[in-house]
Amino acid sequence: MKIILTQEVSGLGTPGDIVEVKNGYGRNYLLPQGFAIAWTKGAEKQVTVIKRARAAREIRDLDHANEVKAQIEGLKVNLKARAGDGGRLFGSVTPAEVVEAVKAAGGPSLDRRRLELPGHIKSTGSYPVSIKLHPEVTAKFNLNVTPS
């Protein structure tokens, strides 16, 4: 089955890629979850729109990714969250909140979907966070969650 990816699927491709998958995987998982659309000649035009949007927000090349990595790894990222007794948070920290905290610390604007959190962050403390900037470059920084 030939499909066009609309979101990044690890091990398969990025948005706009045209890939060949087994019928069951495409029909039962990728299409219902909205990760892909069926390939048609008309959908081929949508690929160019998706690729144009991806190029606008993506890191330009390996050198640019290394520059952004150096900028991110030099940051001290602090996130204030509502917490109860014992440092337990009301809810958990989301990738969108982490991206906002990086921007508030003077870092670049990042894509929250490329952020890799160490599980669910549900208490105060320091957590290692990584972000995949480029297929070959991953930046790592510490996120300090403090009670507000």
Per residue in 115-130, pLDDT (tens digit) is: 889 889 999 999 999 9
For the entire predicted model, the pTM comes to 0.63
Q: Quickly state the pLDDT bin for 55 (edges 50, 70, 90).
A: low
- Which pLDDT does position 49 carry in this prediction? 75
6 alpha-carbon distance from chain centroid: 14
- Which pLDDT does position 10 carry in this prediction? 84
- Which pLDDT does position 58 carry in this prediction? 60
CATH of domain 2-57: 3.40.5.10
Do 18 and 3 form a contact (C-beta atoms < 8 A)?
yes
What percentage of the chain reaches a pLDDT higher than 90?
A: 41
- Which pLDDT does position 56 carry in this prediction? 61
Please give the C-alpha separations between residue 121 and each of 24, 133, 145, in angstroms, as whole numbers: 35, 22, 9
- Which pLDDT does position 113 carry in this prediction? 84
Please give the C-alpha separations between residue 117 and each of 9, 84, 111, in angstroms, as whole numbers: 17, 22, 13
Q: Which CATH architecture has domain 62-147?
A: Roll (3.10)
Nearest to 2 by CA among 19, 15, 27: 19
Relative to beta strand 77-81, strand 137-147 is: parallel
Distance CA 28, CA 32 (A): 6
Residues of the chain with CATH 3.40.5.10: 2-57
Residues of the chain with CATH 3.10.430.100: 62-147
* DSSP type of residue 84: -
**What mean pLDDT, rounded, does the chain reach?**
87
Q: Quickly state the pLDDT bin for 97 (edges 50, 70, 90).
A: very high
Task: Give me the mean pLDDT over the 23-47 stretch.
Answer: 90
